[in-house]
Amino acid sequence: MSDEDLTGREVRTQRIITAPRKRAFAAWTDPEQLARWWGPKGFSNTFHRFELKPEGLWEFTMHGPDGAAFNNTCVFKRIEPPGYLEFDHLKEMHFYKAMVTFTNAPQGTRIDWTMRFDTAEELAPIRAFIAKANEENMDKLQALCTDAS
C-alpha cells in the first residue's frame, strides 16, 4: 500500500508536550490520568475496564457536554514504554488503529499520533471533526502534564 493510499485513511496529530517522555507516556497509560484528559473539550470519561497489556481491554464511556454518552471499546496491541503505544478502537462510533510515538525533544516530548481507518470513505465525513478533537485532546494533555509537573 502506498503512502498516498494511507494519507486518505489517516488523521495525524503531532504536538510537543512540555514534559519528560516518561511523564507523557504515563499520561496515556495510567487510567486515572488518561480519564482526566481523553476526549475533546467539554467531554469527561468513566472507565469501566483498563487492562494495559497486549490484547487487554479498555472499555469506557465518554460523556459529552450535552449529556450524551458514547460507549467505547479498545484493545491494546503494543505497549513499549516510554516510546510507543498502539490500540485498536473497535466501537462504538469509529473503528480505527491508533499508533502513538513518544520521542525526546528539546522542549519535552514530541507525540506523533496516527489514527488509521479502514477506508478513506469512512474517514472523509468525520476527518475535520477528528482533527479538531485531537488538537483539543492534546491541549488537555498538555494542561494535565503542566499541572502535575
Strands 69-80 and 57-63: antiparallel
CATH of the domain at 51: 3.30.530.20
Tell me how far apart the alpha carbons of residues 4 and 119 are, in angstroms, rounded to a whole number.
12
Cα separation values, 10 from 7, 23, 113, 119, 138, Å: 5, 26, 10, 9, 17
In 37-149, the DSSP E strands lie at 44-50, 57-63, 69-80, 84-91, 96-105, 108-117
Note the pLDDT of residue 50. 98
Note the pLDDT of residue 1. 46
Cell numbers placing 103: 520521542
Query: What one-character DSSP code corresponds to residue 45?
Result: E
Note the pLDDT of residue 94. 78
pLDDT 10s per residue in the chain (149 long)? 444 467 789 999 999 999 999 999 999 999 999 999 999 999 999 999 999 999 999 999 999 999 999 999 999 999 999 999 999 999 767 799 999 999 999 999 999 999 999 999 999 999 999 999 999 999 999 999 987 54
- Residue showing cell 490520568: 33
Note the pLDDT of residue 138. 96
Cell numbers placing 2: 502506498
Note the pLDDT of residue 2. 45
The structural domain count of the chain equals 1
Per the structure, the complete domain to which residue 36 belongs is given by 3-148
Bond into 125 cis (ω within 30): no
